[in-house]
Structure 1
Amino acid sequence: MTMLEFFSLLGGVGLFLFGMTIMSSGLRNACGDNLQSILEKATANKYIAVLIGLGMTMLIQSSSATDVMVIGFVNAGMMNLAQAIGVIMGANIGTTVTAQITAFNIGAYAPLLVFFGAVMYLFIKKSLVKHIGEITMGFGMLFLGISIMKEAIAPLAESPQFIKFIANMSNPVIALIFGIGFTALLQSSSSSTVIFQTFAVQGLLYYDTAVYLIIGAAIGSVTPNILASLTTNRNGKRTALLNLTFNIIRAIILITLINLFPGILDFIRSLSPGDIGRQIANTHTAFAIIAVLIELPFTGQIIKLVEKIIRILPEESEQLEERRLQYMTNIKSVPQSMAVDQAHREVTRMGRIAAKNLRNSLTCFFSYTTEMAESVRAREESVNILNKTIADAIAELRAFDLDKENMHRVSMLTIAVTDIERLSDHAENVVEYAESMLGRHSCMSQAAIDELREMADDTLREVDLSLDAFESEDYSRLDEIERLENRVDEKETTLVNNHVQRLMTSSCDPMAGVVFCDLVTDLERCADHAINLAYALKERSTDSLPHHSGAAELPEA
């Protein structure tokens, strides 16, 4: 192979990979946010999850993209490992479609596809047409790249060095390792399989060798998921490990099967006699389907294996308990008064979680640790998930034929959920203030710190008393709550004025001054949300209810 032919090969590979990326991007853009909403709503039924993973990956032509989205959802708590493994398995089948498409020899029409795709993408303003043009252009580039690769590698058939290299790959172990490494480099099993296909069509690769390359490619394709999981929580890392474990088990099963029953490969080859490109595509698809059919019944055991490797910590178990509904689990099968009472209990539980998060965030502000900051952010995510799930459950309640009293309570509970969610939002703000002060705590005077502690104590006391009133509907301590609320309001003005004086005398750093004022404002707003909770279920006329800037609007019934 001459240097020019080598450059042509690299250019063909580059054009093919770029075409894959463009086509995948166009497909994702054309589908819009529907892909994420479909994934987010993947049910606990593992068979449906497989179909969702299969369909999504067929649409976007990238199992890595599907798997990375799955890792993101598991990381955010929107999907569990049982749902994730089904989608991952489906994605492994969906990704084989690329090889099936490229088995068709339509390279002669590729320049035409690129031209029409470019016209649609560059000259038509309608977004859907632009996305279709992007897909068409990427599709054309893909086949154009394959055509260039075929021309570039044709002389390799006469190269003694390359023939020797291919001969070494006839060893299954070497072929398997090469398939893993090559795919890890490309980060796409679809891409590496198509390249193997191209070599085989040109007579440079035997079918038996390609089989082991395909098995190795499935393991190597997990590389993007492992990289994506490096910045996720432990559940995100488990998802990536789940994918890797599935593909390693898949490799063991397939190698065992084809060695015990070589007739499997003979059968696949007989489906497309004389067409090695199609044979490789069919093998890729058949292997994925066989692996899913064999492993699907054992998903529970695979998940347990992964959870033994990355053990579930006590705080993770607590987080799982926090994020799932505990009371509103059978609202459709109980009397409406009991269903509303369950909603009240669930909202109260969410309030306690948010209050705990606010308390921990303030502890983190005065004595920062990375672990505490991460804990606050994780609990804030729990509150967000509860906010959505409780809101959905309450929406179901509102659809019932509720009497006037229960409808009013449901409406007030909806407002309470909003106030509680905002309490936890402020907790996250407090952690951000703490991080902005790292290494600068000495720049804030002791007087400022003491004032913040005193205001924080009053705010937390008000939050706790308000939640007690909300839970028990005992309003005997409303006067104390009102006094705390007024004291926090007064402190907001007093503390800011005091701090301005300190800034003028250079007792505090200006940056610390900004954080001080922001935290004071957040604490005052937390107190507002607290008193809203205290009065949320109290039967009073609307005019006599306390009104605070943080209050949510009453939703229509």
Structure 2
Amino acid sequence: MTVEVLGTIFTFVGGLGMFLYGMNVMADGLQKSAGGKMKQLMGILTRNRLLAVLVGALVTAIIQSSSATTVMVVGFVNAGIVNLTQAVGVIMGANVGTTITGWLVSMNEWGAIFKPSFFAPLLIGIGAFVIMFSKKEKRKDVGEILIGFGVLFIGLDFMSNAIKPYSDSPIFSNAFAVLGKNPILAILAGAVITAIIQSSSASVGILQTLAMNGVVGWNSAVFITLGQNIGTCVTALLSSAGANKTAKRAAVIHLMFNVVGAVIFGVLMFVIFTFNPSFANSSINSVEISIFHTIFNITNTVVLFPFANLLVKLSGLIIDDSKPETNDEEDITLMHLDDRILETPSFAVENAVKESINLGKIALKNTETAIQAFLQNDVEKANEVFKNEKLIDKYEKKITEYLVKITNLSINEKQHFLVNDLFYTISNIERVGDHAENLAELAVSKIDHNIWFSDAAYKELDEICNVVLQSFENAILARETENIEYVRKVVKLEDQVDALEEELRDSHIERLSRNECDSETGVIFMDALVNLERISDHSLNIANYVRDEL
């Protein structure tokens, strides 16, 4: 191998690397700038299938990867956030959204002003200045998008320049002639290359780069493109390996959708090429590849959209999930924190918020149970509290690990602030769980020593317990709704708890002084007040984190 050939390979590989890196940087910038809008998209996902198609297209256009979108969908299905019918819509939309990259690549042939060598360096320069000198986070996100855009196009320019000297080489013409005459071989080639590099956008970009140099014919390009759409399914299939059967069905639906589309279009184009050989052997350019890629994916979505339920049923024949894999509430709860959702950081943040709220609701229910156990001397409820506390501790650890992973993703400044607040929020929720456990232990102690409070003491405890529960419930609602009114309620309720705690402490001391209760009973009563007051304090902390974000 000569130095010249080696240099060409290095240039092409370097160009491909810059293309992939630029696409990744641009996608990160787009995701961070989209930020809060992703929360709205997540809500749309659960409405209807048509909206799910639009969400799938939009999310894929933002993150520049249909593979990442589909992997994320597998994660959503595995976590039980969306059902299979909704997942079909997102998968179909992802195929439409991935055509955006092809149009970006084809800008090379729109005119001289759009060529990478003309404006890409300017974009990188502007983006670098914006990132270095701008203090606003949103402007820095725009700078990141510009740099990614510029690097992407310079990478394309590198690849094109590497291939250009060999555009007349018989290697290319012979290879594409063979692929053009063998549709199945061409489809396999497109599928294998895409599966290897794990990106249909990148493989289509490579094909378009070859097309810019006039070495690709219509027949080979069409069948390779169909194969690329099949190859992109491999990522989701691999991702579903560790998922439940329903998530595996989502990955299989993605494969069936693209295979059925490839078969329909493959047969149609084979007939057209057979009756028009001159058209089949004519050169195709990058714009024409973009047009075909777009028409294929949109038509495939329109044709198969009415048969979404049939695809779901067929996936059930391939992957039998009629038998539930788990009924364990703990497994189901922890399953929601699916790493596949990390493919889309903004969705991962919203998922972490959702699961933090779920943790809060579990802790709230456990606190109610602990109070009942304490007031009613109910040992069964106390044991239920001990069991749930173990779940809360495990869940808190799992969410913390998930949040750590999110901090290493591309999220904007507001999302970073939210994630930091979530760390403190789940810590406070876990501490509420600890205090609920303390109340259950006090209940056991009362039962063991046959301790019962006076009617006056029970009435006082019942009053402060109700206010404490209201405080914690409103704190969770504040986190869930981000409504300042709930924060204000928590502040007001916390003041009531503090006043009641002081009042009840004084009245109990008076009962002790009048010998209306013994010292052992008094200690348990005081310990209960301390734990109740601490729960209210943690509720206020949670509400304050929400207030700081508003």
TM-score bracket for the superposition, by shorter chain length: 0.5 to 0.7
Residue 233 (str. 1) matches residue 244 (str. 2) = yes
Deviation by residue 1:260-280 (Cα, 9 ceiling, x = unmatched):
4569999x99xxx99722111
421 and 543 in structure 1: CA distance in 2 versus 1, 3 angstrom threshold: closer
Distance in 2 (alpha carbons) for counterparts of 1:529 and 1:263: 85
**Partners of 1:466 and 1:530 within 8 A in 2:** no
Match of 1:524 in 2: 437
Distance in 2 (alpha carbons) for counterparts of 1:189 and 1:222: 9
Residue 120 (str. 1) matches residue 74 (str. 2) = no
TM superposition shift of 1:281: 0.5
Q: Return the letter of the residue paired with 1:176.
A: I
Query: For 1:159, which of 154, 157, 169 is the aligned residue?
Result: 169
Match of 1:38 in 2: 41
Residue 299 (str. 1) matches residue 244 (str. 2) = no
Q: Return the letter of the residue paired with 1:167.
A: A
Q: Return the letter of the residue paired with 1:182.
A: I
Match of 1:65 in 2: 68
Q: Return the letter of the residue paired with 2:151.
A: M
Match of 1:101 in 2: 104
Q: Return the letter of the residue paired with 2:301.
A: V
TM superposition shift of 1:43: 3.5
**Partners of 1:36 and 1:69 within 8 A in 2:** no
TM superposition shift of 1:44: 3.9
Match of 1:75 in 2: 78
Residue 134 (str. 1) matches residue 144 (str. 2) = yes
Match of 1:188 in 2: 199
189 and 530 in structure 1: CA distance in 2 versus 1, 3 angstrom threshold: farther
- What does residue range 412-431 of structure 1 map to in structure 2 within 5 Å? 419-420=364-365
Distance in 1 (alpha carbons) for counterparts of 2:30 and 2:385: 53
Distance in 1 (alpha carbons) for counterparts of 2:21 and 2:96: 22
Match of 1:177 in 2: 188
Deviation by residue 1:205-257 (Cα, 9 ceiling, x = unmatched):
11211001110001111222223323333322222222112111121121122
Deviation by residue 1:435-475 (Cα, 9 ceiling, x = unmatched):
xxxxxxxxxxxxxxxxxxxxxxxxxxx88x969xxxxxxxx
**SS in structure 2 of the partner of residue 315 of structure 1:** coil
Under a length normalisation based on structure 2, what TM-score does the superposition of the two structures give? 0.61
171-180 vs 34-43, which deviates more?
34-43
5 and 416 in structure 1: CA distance in 2 versus 1, 3 angstrom threshold: closer
525 and 37 in structure 1: CA distance in 2 versus 1, 3 angstrom threshold: farther
Query: For 1:92, which of 88, 92, 95 is the aligned residue?
Result: 95
Match of 1:399 in 2: none
Match of 1:377 in 2: 331
**SS in structure 2 of the partner of residue 544 of structure 1:** helix
Distance in 1 (alpha carbons) for counterparts of 2:256 and 2:92: 11
Distance in 2 (alpha carbons) for counterparts of 1:229 and 1:210: 30
Q: Return the letter of the residue paired with 2:254.
A: N
307 and 33 in structure 1: CA distance in 2 versus 1, 3 angstrom threshold: farther
110 and 265 in structure 1: CA distance in 2 versus 1, 3 angstrom threshold: farther
Match of 1:210 in 2: 221
**Partners of 1:188 and 1:221 within 8 A in 2:** yes
- What does residue range 348-367 of structure 1 map to in structure 2 within 5 Å? none
Q: Return the letter of the residue paired with 2:19.
A: F
466 and 542 in structure 1: CA distance in 2 versus 1, 3 angstrom threshold: closer
**SS in structure 1 of the partner of residue 229 of structure 2:** helix
**Partners of 2:217 and 2:284 within 8 A in 1:** no
Distance in 1 (alpha carbons) for counterparts of 2:25 and 2:276: 34
- What does residue range 347-496 of structure 1 map to in structure 2 within 5 Å? 376-378=330-332, 419-420=364-365, 479-481=376-378
**Partners of 1:30 and 1:131 within 8 A in 2:** yes
TM superposition shift of 1:549: 12
Distance in 2 (alpha carbons) for counterparts of 1:487 and 1:376: 14
TM superposition shift of 1:288: 0.1
Structure with the higher helix share, 1 or 2: 2
378 and 549 in structure 1: CA distance in 2 versus 1, 3 angstrom threshold: farther
Match of 1:276 in 2: 285
TM superposition shift of 1:285: 0.1
Q: Return the letter of the residue paired with 1:481.
A: D
Match of 1:407 in 2: none
229 and 529 in structure 1: CA distance in 2 versus 1, 3 angstrom threshold: farther
Q: How many residues align?
A: 385
Q: Return the letter of the residue paired with 1:164.
A: N
| Structure 1 alignment gaps of length 5 or more | 320-356, 358-374, 393-414, 424-461, 468-476, 493-517, 532-539
Match of 1:150 in 2: 160
Match of 1:249 in 2: 260
547 and 381 in structure 1: CA distance in 2 versus 1, 3 angstrom threshold: farther
Distance in 2 (alpha carbons) for counterparts of 1:487 and 1:175: 62
Distance in 1 (alpha carbons) for counterparts of 2:249 and 2:16: 33
**Partners of 1:50 and 1:86 within 8 A in 2:** yes
Query: For 1:201, which of 193, 212, 226 is the aligned residue?
Result: 212
**Partners of 1:26 and 1:134 within 8 A in 2:** yes
Match of 2:500 in 1: none
Q: Return the letter of the residue paired with 2:203.
A: S
530 and 379 in structure 1: CA distance in 2 versus 1, 3 angstrom threshold: farther
**Partners of 2:221 and 2:284 within 8 A in 1:** no
| Structure 2 alignment gaps of length 5 or more | 109-113, 338-349, 355-359, 390-430, 445-457, 475-485, 490-550
Query: For 2:50, which of 47, 51, 62 is the aligned residue?
Result: 47
53-62 vs 479-488, which deviates more?
479-488
Name the structure, 1 or 2, with higher relative contact order (CA <8 Å, separation 6+). 2
32-41 vs 169-178, which deviates more?
32-41
20 and 481 in structure 1: CA distance in 2 versus 1, 3 angstrom threshold: same
378 and 422 in structure 1: CA distance in 2 versus 1, 3 angstrom threshold: farther
482 and 222 in structure 1: CA distance in 2 versus 1, 3 angstrom threshold: closer
Distance in 2 (alpha carbons) for counterparts of 1:168 and 1:174: 9
Match of 1:315 in 2: 324
Distance in 2 (alpha carbons) for counterparts of 1:104 and 1:151: 16
Distance in 1 (alpha carbons) for counterparts of 2:367 and 2:276: 60
TM superposition shift of 1:182: 0.9
Distance in 2 (alpha carbons) for counterparts of 1:115 and 1:71: 39
Distance in 1 (alpha carbons) for counterparts of 2:439 and 2:462: 21
**Partners of 2:56 and 2:94 within 8 A in 1:** yes
Distance in 2 (alpha carbons) for counterparts of 1:112 and 1:93: 30
TM superposition shift of 1:37: 4.4
**Partners of 1:39 and 1:70 within 8 A in 2:** no
Deviation by residue 1:173-224 (Cα, 9 ceiling, x = unmatched):
2211110011112211111112111111201111211001110001111222
**Partners of 1:180 and 1:218 within 8 A in 2:** yes
**Partners of 1:22 and 1:134 within 8 A in 2:** yes
For the aligned residue pairs, the C-alpha RMSD in angstroms reads 4.1
**Partners of 2:91 and 2:254 within 8 A in 1:** yes
Q: Return the letter of the residue paired with 1:207.
A: W
255 and 275 in structure 1: CA distance in 2 versus 1, 3 angstrom threshold: closer
TM superposition shift of 1:79: 0.8
TM superposition shift of 1:543: 4.7
**Partners of 2:45 and 2:51 within 8 A in 1:** yes
Distance in 1 (alpha carbons) for counterparts of 2:460 and 2:436: 26
Q: Return the letter of the residue paired with 2:311.
A: I
Distance in 1 (alpha carbons) for counterparts of 2:91 and 2:160: 32
Distance in 2 (alpha carbons) for counterparts of 1:9 and 1:299: 41
**SS in structure 1 of the partner of residue 242 of structure 2:** coil
Under a length normalisation based on structure 1, what TM-score does the superposition of the two structures give? 0.60
